[in-house]
Structure 1
Amino acid sequence: MFQTELIGHLHPLIVHLPIGILIFAYIMMILQQFRKIDMNAAIDLALLLGTISSVIACIAGWFLVQSGDYETEAIFKHQWTGISTAILGVLAYFLKNHRWILATATIICLTIAGHFGGNLTHGEGYLFASQNKTSTPIDTTKIASFENIDTTQSINHAAVRKSFVYRDKIIPILKTKCYNCHSASKKKGGLRLDSEDFIKKGGKTGRIVSVGNPNQSILFTHLILPENDDKHMPPKGKMQLTRNEISTIYSWIKRGASFVEEVESTSNEKASNLVIQNTQISPESISDIPIAEKEYIKNNESKLLTSNIEAVSLSVLEKLNQQNIRITYLGNGSNYISANFVNVRNYQPSLLNDLESIHNQLVNLRLSNQPVNDDAIEKIANFKNLTKLNLENTAITDASLEHLKTLPSLEQLNLYGTKITDSGLQVLAKYPSLKVVYLWQTKVSKSGIEQLKKASPKLQIETGEFQFAKPDTNKMIK
């Protein structure tokens, strides 16, 4: 068993041999054609070696599939284009009279097989990820939506104000950080995280969620292991979860890991942002954080939630819902709302115009992974009650930060994966209420961050460089 698994694990290494050798053989055929140089012997040798290595790669790939980490349906295209490449290589070697056609077909098939293999390794659509950052629709068949509200009857505002934590918060985290290795295309460790049933089922080691007890839930504890630990997830070198994302998962499990509608109380919302604030915190101590006793919970957002404001009209909510903009209320009895663009597939700048009608009620805005530019940010600068703004992986530059400094209540700003530089950091020091800023994978330097710390000593600056204490693995569910 160990030997077959080892052979399977060698597939990603072996597969590069036929790619390089067969392409090299084809290049020599082109050179021979145009330069009239006799390279038949070298071409024969290259085709022979390339074909042999492609057959070996196919065998190793077959063993890899048997490990169970990949779904048969997902692997089908890569498997058969790979086998076709090997067969065409054999024919190109022996049928010299038809070598040009067969070699060309081999290279085409090799390219397609490589593309499907890349999708399996890096995720669907990886090749054009930078050009197309839109998200696939999220399954909401089990969740009530605005489309189900009968506008001719009296409105149940308590139902409208449900906060769908799993759909709106957990799924986006799993989709961006976990699906590459734990979904239909690849189920590393026998684990899939792309549906409720699979999360409940767990993987080869058993359950990953202990309802109400994140400290004994692998879904949480493996996130906070040291990055050099073999069990740390995501693996070293992959995009890591931010502290807020980890705290969201912790809070979700703590409150019962509900997959359907759940009212998210204001106090718990604040607590989830504080759960993992200490860089050396351990899972055992997280549950001991007192919620109501923390004075810094009383921030601009909590003050807003206690004030009265006119409710957003149902027609406006329905219009936003039709555009896949997710609107959730921030607490029972409150008319302040959060807007999330995670499900927007074809972003247009005009969508922000629709938010202007709710700018007084809008407190949280998430525009991550959308092609939002500096012009769009100029509109957002008019949303005076905004306290949290997520611009992760957008197209903004330092110019946007000049616009946002006029927001009087902005406390959390996520700039992860943007082109912000040290020049922009100096503007952040002028923000009147900013408490937390996320700068991981931006263009800022360490010296720029140090200057910002001096200018705003109370500002919490997140750069992705943190380490958690190792949890007690003896308490994990097996």
Structure 2
Amino acid sequence: MLPTELIGRFHPLIVHLPIGILLFAFAMMVFQRIRKIDIEVVIGFALFSGALCSVAACVAGWILAQSGEYDAALVAKHQWTGIATTAMAALAFALKRFRWILMTSTVILLTLAGHYGGNLTHGEDYLFPKKKTAQRVNIPNLDSLQIAELASTTAGQTANTENGAVPQTVERKTFIYQDYVVPILENKCYSCHSATKMKGGLRLDTEAFIKKGGKNGSILSPGNPNASSIFSCLLLPADDDKHMPPKGKPQLSEQEIAALHFWIKKGASFQEQIETITIGAGSNPTALAIPSLKLAELPKAPSADSLVAKGSLNASINRSSQEASILSTPVGAATPTALTQLQQNNIIISDFGQGSNYLMANFVNVKKYSSSLLDDLNNINKQLLRIRLSNQPVQDDDLKKLAGFKSLTWLNLEKTNISDAGLAHLQNLPNLEQLNLYGTNITDRGLPALTQCVHLKTLYLWQTKVSPQGVEQLKKAMPQLQIVMGGFQFAKPDSMGPGKKELPSGNKQALK
């Protein structure tokens, strides 16, 4: 470690000296006024010592800030309030006539500087922590489009199976990363590895930064938890310098460690997973627990020198025909400036692997959505193929900004505020193949606009205000379109052949 780096690391220790000394000086001033005694010598010495220690703290703090491990904007606030505190303390020592005003200002600035320093060290919610939600331990494997209907038909399925029916199959969706990995990282890792604080140059608050790794390289090896330092560091002895979270911080439970192991073992996907499951006698289609994993059962953690994982994540992408055609056409890479700006707004930007310059944008981590964020996407217009805006307060007028994205193939507007008026802006998307309108205010009146999307293949309309009659009209206009309404039931064995499914009347268009 360089001498300057060592000085910087002493900042958290040094900074407490001026805090205590200056507050002591102010307390002596109050005591002097109340008791009517002369202790100016003590007060002057305390102010001189406090100002001198403040200078030392500022120097050490500036050196520490050069590591780049902290949020630049928050560092600037802490830095300048600290410098102002030092200046006020020095003036209070020199200008005895204005000492009360200057010392009052010093205490106020000292409080602000300390608050910003606490934010840097412990996170922005350290003073008034947000209520943490309880961690779930079971992975819901069925998509929300299917769970409600399955719950209502499970009893009927079991009865049919007992009567000799062939077990049925159904597609399910899981989003292990978003539903389980993100809450673990948020509760146990973000305080040291996020936009505010980046220990070791590592951020864990977005997909792109997890893939990027930190100063020591990659931290993730899909399919191999023991070669992934994001996991293997959890298994090191608590007194090991590489153990995470550090000693004294809240540790992960066995179930949380098991969840991370489960995610990495399955390929460490950042996308929703779609698979087919068989529902037979005694099966529960709505629950699949993360395998129980005791720490004693885990393999011995590798040495600290072998914790750096090699390789990169090549996520499997289900590519449709229009998208495959676009992906086969070379395109220039997006500028680093454009990508950095999006990532600073917590928009997850992912690529399609194998050196492709085409991109996907996911707003799942955006806390304060505004339509101006869509303007930033224009900087990657040529490269952007997929956009996920689910659960954001997207309005109809916001969709005007997407009309110029001619390469867009997938658009997820699940549980947004859009209505029929917004669909008119989507008819200018020539390559749109999948559109998710689940949980929106769409009605039959808005559906005709979608007939202009000639390549549209899959449309999700579960829990909208669209009627079966409106769906039937759209199917007549677009016979190739698969419309998912969410309603289905399994057939009786005496009415259909093995493996067949029958849709309820009025919902036969739900599945293709």
Task: Give TM-score scaled by structure 1 length.
Answer: 0.52
The equivalent of 2:161 in structure 1 is none
Instruction: Note closer, same or farther for the CA distance 1:240–1:80 as it changes in structure 2 (3 Å cut).
Output: same
Q: CA deviation at 1:158?
A: 7.1
1:187 matched to 2:198? The reply is yes
Q: CA deviation at 1:226?
A: 1.2
The CA deviation string for residues 135-170 of structure 1, in whole angstroms up to 9 with x for no partner, is 8xxxxxxxxx979xxxxxxxxx978x5221111111
Q: C-alpha distance in 1, partners of 2:225/2:287?
A: 16
The equivalent of 2:291 in structure 1 is 273
The equivalent of 1:259 in structure 2 is 270
The equivalent of 2:52 in structure 1 is 52
What is the letter of the counterpart of residue 36 of structure 1? K
Instruction: Note closer, same or farther for the CA distance 1:103–1:272 as it changes in structure 2 (3 Å cut).
Output: same
What is the letter of the counterpart of residue 198 of structure 1? F
The equivalent of 2:244 in structure 1 is 233
Instruction: Note closer, same or farther for the CA distance 1:2–1:128 as it changes in structure 2 (3 Å cut).
Output: same
Q: CA deviation at 1:231?
A: 0.6
The equivalent of 1:250 in structure 2 is 261
Q: C-alpha distance in 1, partners of 2:195/2:24?
A: 35
Q: C-alpha distance in 2, partners of 1:208/1:173?
A: 16
The equivalent of 1:6 in structure 2 is 6
Q: C-alpha distance in 2, partners of 1:68/1:196?
A: 20
SS in 2 for 1:126: coil
The equivalent of 2:92 in structure 1 is 92
The equivalent of 2:186 in structure 1 is 175
Q: C-alpha distance in 2, partners of 1:268/1:93?
A: 70
Q: C-alpha distance in 2, partners of 1:218/1:269?
A: 29
The CA deviation string for residues 228-250 of structure 1, in whole angstroms up to 9 with x for no partner, is 11111001111000011111111
1:221 matched to 2:237? The reply is no
The CA deviation string for residues 238-273 of structure 1, in whole angstroms up to 9 with x for no partner, is 100001111111111111111121248789985733
Does the 8 Å CA contact 1:177/1:234 hold for their aligned counterparts?
yes
1:212 matched to 2:218? The reply is no
Q: CA deviation at 1:279?
A: 2.3
Does the 8 Å CA contact 1:75/1:185 hold for their aligned counterparts?
no
Whose relative contact order is higher, 1 or 2, with alpha carbons under 8 Å and at least 6 apart?
A: 1
Q: C-alpha distance in 2, partners of 1:213/1:104?
A: 58
Q: C-alpha distance in 2, partners of 1:178/1:63?
A: 25
Does the 8 Å CA contact 1:164/1:263 hold for their aligned counterparts?
no
Does the 8 Å CA contact 1:74/1:184 hold for their aligned counterparts?
no
Instruction: Note closer, same or farther for the CA distance 1:206–1:35 as it changes in structure 2 (3 Å cut).
Output: same
Instruction: Note closer, same or farther for the CA distance 1:270–1:229 as it changes in structure 2 (3 Å cut).
Output: farther
Q: C-alpha distance in 1, partners of 2:132/2:286?
A: 30
* Equivalent residue in structure 2 for 1:197, among 202, 208, 212: 208
Q: CA deviation at 1:88?
A: 0.8
The equivalent of 2:74 in structure 1 is 74
Instruction: Note closer, same or farther for the CA distance 1:217–1:50 as it changes in structure 2 (3 Å cut).
Output: same
Residue pairs, 1:60-459, within 5 angstroms: 60-129=60-129, 132-133=130-131, 161-263=172-274, 272-274=290-292, 276-279=293-296, 281-282=298-299
Instruction: Note closer, same or farther for the CA distance 1:278–1:190 as it changes in structure 2 (3 Å cut).
Output: closer
Note the residue ranges of structure 1 that are not aligned, 5 or more in a row: 136-144, 148-156, 286-320, 325-478
Q: CA deviation at 1:283?
A: 5.3
Q: CA deviation at 1:68?
A: 2.1
Instruction: Note closer, same or farther for the CA distance 1:278–1:65 as it changes in structure 2 (3 Å cut).
Output: closer
Instruction: Note closer, same or farther for the CA distance 1:94–1:242 as it changes in structure 2 (3 Å cut).
Output: same
Q: C-alpha distance in 1, partners of 2:115/2:75?
A: 12
Does the 8 Å CA contact 2:84/2:109 hold for their aligned counterparts?
yes
Q: CA deviation at 1:192?
A: 0.5
Q: C-alpha distance in 2, partners of 1:268/1:25?
A: 65
Q: C-alpha distance in 1, partners of 2:93/2:80?
A: 20
| Structure with larger Rg | 2
The equivalent of 1:401 in structure 2 is none
Instruction: Note closer, same or farther for the CA distance 1:16–1:268 as it changes in structure 2 (3 Å cut).
Output: farther
What is the letter of the counterpart of residue 192 of structure 2? C
SS in 2 for 1:128: coil
Q: C-alpha distance in 2, partners of 1:133/1:51?
A: 39
What is the letter of the counterpart of residue 18 of structure 2? P
Q: Aligned-residue CA RMSD in angstroms?
A: 2.9
Q: C-alpha distance in 2, partners of 1:27/1:146?
A: 61
Task: Give TM-score scaled by structure 2 length.
Answer: 0.49
Q: C-alpha distance in 1, partners of 2:20/2:297?
A: 46
Q: C-alpha distance in 2, partners of 1:173/1:190?
A: 20
What is the letter of the counterpart of residue 33 of structure 2? Q
Identity, % of aligned positions: 55
Q: C-alpha distance in 2, partners of 1:263/1:19?
A: 56
Instruction: Note closer, same or farther for the CA distance 1:204–1:25 as it changes in structure 2 (3 Å cut).
Output: same
SS in 2 for 1:162: strand
Q: How many residues align?
A: 267
Q: CA deviation at 1:71?
A: 2.5
Instruction: Note closer, same or farther for the CA distance 1:38–1:166 as it changes in structure 2 (3 Å cut).
Output: same
Residue pairs, 1:20-35, within 5 angstroms: 20-35=20-35
The equivalent of 1:141 in structure 2 is none
Q: C-alpha distance in 2, partners of 1:20/1:219?
A: 39
